[in-house]
Structure 1
């Protein structure tokens, strides 16, 4: 009897051949974008908002063209007329909704319910339009979400989280991110996304911890400020410097606190999404955005915009784009060469603009 153990097959699937591995590059400059931004603002005012469609396209094209992977920049393909048509329709719907609410409250409630059911369609169409208008290396992106999944993720789960005292909220946010990203494709290649619910709960707990610690520190400083201002108020003839310095300090700390909390959550979730997403045999991603660095950027951006009455906005936007790109690494594999662009289809911008009018955030990481 032959008792020889058969050889174990230790052969593994070969790793995909890497073409390039590098950080995303951003070459935009604050001075250049300041000129675009200034013209956009002035012409939008002079044309009573009509030029805003051209302003949006110019802004998107500037940032897309200055963002590159492996030496190839992105293209934004939407035209101002597409944006303008969609914006006019969306504003018309919003005006009708506002008038109905004002003069026919009962019908307004029904219209609000209809809008609630229309929201998943608006979100899907907005994402589909944005993806379809984005191109890299002459290959367009696409979005393949459906109404049923969008309704569950954007409507049912957020509402259900209210009845669980928001214990379900991190899971709902995970499902929303999973849905938005896993339905993206590059040409004919869908993306694979594997997000973990526990990561969202961990991010929520860390954010809550930072919030509690910040509130304690904020409360102590506020108490000291009140005491110092009380002392200054007693000496009415000789105003104590603290009555001026401390309120400014409190405002600065408040802004710093909000940006820190926001940066902690955003950095954890952004890193998790990108580190667990890939176009198989085409590209994989890595993000190492640091919460403290991101918080400092958001904080200084906010203060620069406030103290310059908005004039530092272009500088702030360029800084943020540069940091996010530098924190992102993309590995491109040999399979990218075989990507075939899917048949081009004309998309409407109505849904995207409707989403903007009704303040629905459908941005991606």
Structure 2
């Protein structure tokens, strides 16, 4: 079938330039809190069975309230699909755990077998999540192969051990590119034009930050050590517990700062260098300081409310992500979308779900 975009004059296609479009999230913490409470209660009462329905309700809420250029996203999965995948996952991991306890030799062989099926599970999970996501009635898709997943997720990380992990930034670049380059929107492919340089820069930056934080913490504890008898402190249960809590707090802050720095650098670089063929380019403006503040305050809110602030933290994180993501769409996107819709409905929307399973436990 000849699409409208094929009929358009070449001059108009060449002159088309990307234009920024609005990307908004309309979710509210109060609304999601009601959904979350029901999900938690019913999941407990049904011994986890309702968690599949809970995941669908949660994803549909967040997808349907995420708006791009006046159109909302859709989550298409059905609870029974999620439940089927979780039953498979529980059986696999439960059997693996039992073998390691009661038959260690058999567990060793099971571990080797798991390495062989892991690439398939990775691709199946990503493919499921993509195909269950649609925008303007067009589904996303994932074309990654199990062998390529094995190379990127298993073989190369293992090989990096022999380079004292100096290879890992390059491996992380390959993993991101593998996922992006194999993702589709209708019949259009995403493409990430990235190099390993920024990944190495992000790695060295996080190492530098880690060293700086460790030195800072060392100075703090040295100052406290000169003003108190640590031996007596350890002998008092209350003081020892407080010391443990303080240490855990410092660990959370340390991990949050390091993770926020790496994520802000890599995400911005990846988005800035990714495009959707003849459809859109992307941008990201994550900032180290604001991201670290978001994550730390979310953790504190969860601790202080014993987890009841989870809906607020999830909505807050979604707002942050959407507000700092830019999408620039080609002016001729409408005829492209119309063509994709026709192909999708004619060739097989139903076939897209066959053999798809969600293997994730969360």
The TM-score by the shorter chain falls in which range?
Answer: 0.7 to 0.9
Residues 103 and 173 of structure 1: is their aligned pair in 2 closer, same or farther, counting only changes over 3 Å?
Answer: same
Residues 86 and 244 of structure 1: is their aligned pair in 2 closer, same or farther, counting only changes over 3 Å?
Answer: closer
Give 1:295's aligned residue.
292
Q: Which runs of 5+ in 2 are unaligned?
A: 1-10
Q: How does 1:20-99 map to 2 (within 5 A)?
A: 20-99=19-98
SS in 2 for 1:352: coil
Measure, in 2, the Cα distance between the counterparts of 1:244 and 1:48: 33
Give per-residue Cα distances to partners, 1:185-214, cap 9 Å, x unaligned: 110001111111011000000000000000
Give 1:332's aligned residue.
329
Residues 228 and 349 of structure 1: is their aligned pair in 2 closer, same or farther, counting only changes over 3 Å?
Answer: farther
CA contact (8 A) 1:203 1:269 kept: yes
CA contact (8 A) 1:82 1:348 kept: no
SS in 1 for 2:261: helix
Deviation, 1:223, is 1.5
**Is 1:356–2:358 an aligned residue pair?**
no
Give per-residue Cα distances to partners, 1:29-80, cap 9 Å, x unaligned: 1111111111111000000111000000011111111111111111000000
**Is 1:275–2:272 an aligned residue pair?**
yes
What is the root-mean-square deviation in Å for CA atoms of aligned residues? Answer: 2.6
Deviation, 1:104, is 2.1
SS in 2 for 1:89: helix
CA contact (8 A) 2:73 2:135 kept: yes
Deviation, 1:246, is 7.7
Residues 326 and 91 of structure 1: is their aligned pair in 2 closer, same or farther, counting only changes over 3 Å?
Answer: same
Q: How does 1:145-156 map to 2 (within 5 A)?
A: 145-156=144-155
Deviation, 1:250, is 5.3
Q: Which has the larger radius of gyration?
A: 1
Deviation, 1:232, is 12
SS in 2 for 1:289: coil
CA contact (8 A) 1:181 1:191 kept: yes
Give 1:16's aligned residue.
16
Residues 97 and 233 of structure 1: is their aligned pair in 2 closer, same or farther, counting only changes over 3 Å?
Answer: closer
Give 2:303's aligned residue.
306
CA contact (8 A) 1:97 1:108 kept: yes
**Is 1:265–2:271 an aligned residue pair?**
no
Higher helix proportion: 2
Residues 112 and 253 of structure 1: is their aligned pair in 2 closer, same or farther, counting only changes over 3 Å?
Answer: closer
CA contact (8 A) 1:23 1:328 kept: no
Q: Which runs of 5+ in 1 are unaligned?
A: 1-10, 358-365
